[in-house]
Amino acid sequence: MTAEFPNTKTVYGPVPSWRFGESLGIDPIFHRSTCSFNCIYCQLGNIEKVTTEIKEYVSTSRVVADFKEILGQKKKIDVITYSGSGEPTLASNLGEIVISLKELAPEIPQFILTNATELKNPLVQKNLQHMDKVILKLDAGDEKTFNLVNRPAEGVTLKRVVEGIRSFRENFKGSVEVQTMFMPIINSHEISSFAQILKEINPDFVQLNTPKRAYPLSWHRENRGNHLAVHNHKVRNLRVISKKEAIKIQIKLEELSGLNFYSVYRS
């Protein structure tokens, strides 16, 4: 365990983010890595529990107490970001946590990083209504690549994800962005089909990313938000697309979708 990423709190950081500045992480899952995806590039490594079960994983009171402790330290916080030990929308009390933290720090915007697998669920939609920004993970343009890269829980398909996003966008008033993690396996056909899905979703922005963080070979909670690549355990570095390839992909996607992009290589 490193000093920079203590293992004992549901609130961690703030950590530097190339997208958002000083980002304070909120982890409504916490006890073990739990997600409806098991992505091949996940900064948490192999997910311990791959599931779509929505329940209370950690109490709202515990998150609030941890948050108050951080506020008392007077650290610079540009944004509150829900992510942590897995898929945050699996937490049934997520909406309660969001409202509680807004009451304590109304001036700090609240964002969430979600894989969008549960966005069709009315409870999840309700839980997200007070978010300032919802950032949706979308890495594939077809089911084959979706299964290869995201390794979803049983019953989760790319079609289900896209339908859920469309349903969610009907009522959500905040900002919506798509975060995509491009891997070296992406080909020209994939880019075209991916652009069509993006066009259909019509987000405010698309974040083009590539897996610059190593893949841990064992579960360590301190990998939440570990942008500094500080490890005291075994990791595996992943193949990434080059800056030249990333710019080429971005230009092509912009042409095909007509959307606004920003890239980790151009940050």
- Phi/psi for 158 (5° steps) reads -60, -40
Beta bridge partners of 12: 25
pLDDT (0 to 100) of residue 4:
47
Q: What is the DSSP letter of 206?
A: E
User: Given pLDDT bands bounded at 50, 70 and 90, which one contains residue 217?
Assistant: low
User: Given pLDDT bands bounded at 50, 70 and 90, which one contains residue 222?
Assistant: low
Which amino acid does the sequence have at 132? D
Report, as an integer, the average pLDDT of 186-197: 79
Q: Is the peptide bond before 16 cis (omega within 30 degrees of 0)?
A: no
Which amino acid does the sequence have at 70? I
- CATH number, residue 184: 3.20.20.70
Q: Where are the beta strands (DSSP E) in the chain?
A: 11-17, 21-26, 34-35, 49-50, 79-82, 110-114, 133-137, 175-181, 205-209, 215-216, 235-236, 261-263
pLDDT (0 to 100) of residue 20:
86
Give the number of domains in the chain.
1
pLDDT in tens, 42-70: 888 889 999 999 999 999 999 999 999 99
Is residue 114 situated within a structural domain?
Answer: yes
pLDDT in tens, 69-115: 999 998 999 999 999 899 999 999 999 999 999 999 999 999 999 99
pLDDT (0 to 100) of residue 218:
52
Question: Do residues 228 and 14 lie in contact, with contact meaning Cβ atoms separated by under 8 Å?
Answer: no
Is residue 3 situated within a structural domain?
Answer: no
pLDDT in tens, 227-248: 555 545 565 565 667 788 888 8
- pTM for the whole thing? 0.87
pLDDT (0 to 100) of residue 211:
64
pLDDT (0 to 100) of residue 3:
41
- pLDDT above 60 for 134: yes
Is residue 85 situated within a structural domain?
Answer: yes
Question: Do residues 83 and 122 lie in contact, with contact meaning Cβ atoms separated by under 8 Å?
Answer: no
Question: Do residues 15 and 43 lie in contact, with contact meaning Cβ atoms separated by under 8 Å?
Answer: no
- Quote the domain boundaries for residue 87: 11-263
Is residue 20 situated within a structural domain?
Answer: yes
Cβ atoms within 10 Å of 215's Cβ, excluding its own = 19
Is residue 1 situated within a structural domain?
Answer: no
pLDDT (0 to 100) of residue 2:
41
The span from the CA of 101 to the CA of 133, in Å, is: 15
pLDDT (0 to 100) of residue 220:
52
Q: Which of 1-5, 13-17, 45-49, 76-80 has the highest mean pLDDT?
A: 76-80
Mean pLDDT of the chain: 86
More confident residue, 230 or 263: 263
More confident residue, 211 or 191: 191
More confident residue, 219 or 151: 151
Is residue 4 situated within a structural domain?
Answer: no
Q: Is 159 in a helix, a strand, or coil?
A: helix
pLDDT above 70: percentage of residues in the chain: 83
pLDDT (0 to 100) of residue 214:
56
